[in-house]
């Protein structure tokens, strides 16, 4: 059985006002970093998260860099991050000259393990970045408690988790700051783009200043310090606003697809399991993830290549930071992250998957696993 068309892992769906708004930018000449779509996208995004402020920016990586800069993080400082994440989380810390201190993830949510944070806190620790991995929220209550006790800031890297909820609270509104990505494969997209949410007025002002080259707000073209050009364009925001107007649909499609996978696959727990949804969580299902059991003798990469031959695109779970050259720390402490990352992969989670495609993907996945026991 060979699929005629390759089934992609992810693809943007631009089925609302995106086209209309982009054409409006072109017709009016408002294509750069000022314009009504930037303002409206930011206002609507703040409403969506329930925060006072939302600041658009160039991508989800600089969305992490700006709050770290605004908190004054620099040389000699330490920031706690999960080792199991996308590299942008660690890189943003490195850009400040600070050191990312790695913590293992936990079974269940796959997020940072709150029980392993305190042992990593030193006098140099300034903050914690949690990552809502693949759209599943981190267990935030214990993290916020530790942060309060040690006077640390908390940034939620919600790049993959638009609309996910922790105990009824939308992610990005729980810590001091939330950050989002609108890269092409994320839950909603602007091509490249990012957003920062916060209810801290002072911090928001500081980030706005740094985002625009630190130009003095009271004296045009006067600069008291080194800033950055991390702005989003009106063109990107036009796409973003169109996407955001439809975010319930985008979120609903992902929950529908996840439910369809669970229905078809949960009976095969001797072959593999899916990333679970914890009782306190509303998973945003940026990606549905499969974890192969030890009973499957083929390697993760072999199963993925069999699926590739069937025309099904998959993707390995992230390699942990402690395995990669820039952040290698020689420790073998990260057993949970290692176990998950080496045996897991993502299966197609694009919003337009049909029942037929879902049947086909599940059928092939089960077939290859059963053939390799």
Residues that bind ligand PLP (CB under 6 A): 59-61, 85-86, 88-89, 131, 157, 159-160, 181, 183, 194
* Nearer of residues 101 and 317 to ligand PLP, judged by Cβ: 317
* Nearer of residues 189 and 306 to ligand PLP, judged by Cβ: 189
* Nearer of residues 60 and 67 to ligand PLP, judged by Cβ: 60
Q: In the bound complex, what is the minimum distance in angstroms from residue 88's beta carbon to ligand PLP?
A: 4
* Nearer of residues 173 and 189 to ligand PLP, judged by Cβ: 189
Q: In the bound complex, what is the minimum distance in angstroms from residue 131's beta carbon to ligand PLP?
A: 5
Phi, psi of 273 (to 5 degrees): -125, 160
Q: In the bound complex, what is the minimum distance in angstroms from residue 90's beta carbon to ligand PLP?
A: 10
Q: In the bound complex, what is the minimum distance in angstroms from residue 60's beta carbon to ligand PLP?
A: 2
Q: In the bound complex, what is the minimum distance in angstroms from residue 298's beta carbon to ligand PLP?
A: 27
Which one-letter DSSP state was computed for residue 30? -
Q: In the bound complex, what is the minimum distance in angstroms from residue 350's beta carbon to ligand PLP?
A: 16
Residue nearest to ligand PLP (CB): 60
* Nearer of residues 175 and 369 to ligand PLP, judged by Cβ: 175
* Nearer of residues 258 and 303 to ligand PLP, judged by Cβ: 258
């Amino acid at each position: 059985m060979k699929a005629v068309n390759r089934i992609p892992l992810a693809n943007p769906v631009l089925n609302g006002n995106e086209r209309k708004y982009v054409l409006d930018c072109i017709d009016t000449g408002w294509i750069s970093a000022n314009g009504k779509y930037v303002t409206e996208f930011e206002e609507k995004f703040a409403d969506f998260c329930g925060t006072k402020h939302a600041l658009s920016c160039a991508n989800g990586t600089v969305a992490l860099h700006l709050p770290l800069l605004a908190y004054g993080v620099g040389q000699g400082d330490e920031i706690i991050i999960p080792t199991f994440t996308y590299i942008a989380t660690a890189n943003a810390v490195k850009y400040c000259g600070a050191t990312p201190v790695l913590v293992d993830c936990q079974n269940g949510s796959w997020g940072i393990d709150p029980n392993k944070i305190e042992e990593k806190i030193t006098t140099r620790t300034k903050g914690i970045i949690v990552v809502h991995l693949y759209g599943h929220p981190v267990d935030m209550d214990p993290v916020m408690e530790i942060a309060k006790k040690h006077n640390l800031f908390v940034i939620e890297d919600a790049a993959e988790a638009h609309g996910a909820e922790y105990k009824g609270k939308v992610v990005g509104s729980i810590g001091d700051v939330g950050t989002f990505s609108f890269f092409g494969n994320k839950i909603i997209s602007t091509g490249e783009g990012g957003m920062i949410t916060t209810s801290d007025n002072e911090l928001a002002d500081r980030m706005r200043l740094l985002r625009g080259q630190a130009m003095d707000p009271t004296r045009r073209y006067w600069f008291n310090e080194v800033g950055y050009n991390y702005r989003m364009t009106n063109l990107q925001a036009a796409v973003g606003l169109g996407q955001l107007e439809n975010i319930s649909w985008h979120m609903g499609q992902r929950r529908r697809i996840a439910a369809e996978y669970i229905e078809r696959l949960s009976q095969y727990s001797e072959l593999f399991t899916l990333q679970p949804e914890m009782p306190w969580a509303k998973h945003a299902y940026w990606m549905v993830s499969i974890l192969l059991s030890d009973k499957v003798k083929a390697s993760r990469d072999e199963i993925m290549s069999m699926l590739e031959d069937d025309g099904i695109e998959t993707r390995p779970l992230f390699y942990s930071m402690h395995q990669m050259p820039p952040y290698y720390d020689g420790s073998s402490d990260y057993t949970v992250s290692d176990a998950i990352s080496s045996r897991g992969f993502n299966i197609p989670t694009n919003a337009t998957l049909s029942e037929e495609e879902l049947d086909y993907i599940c059928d092939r996945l089960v077939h290859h696993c059963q053939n390799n026991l």
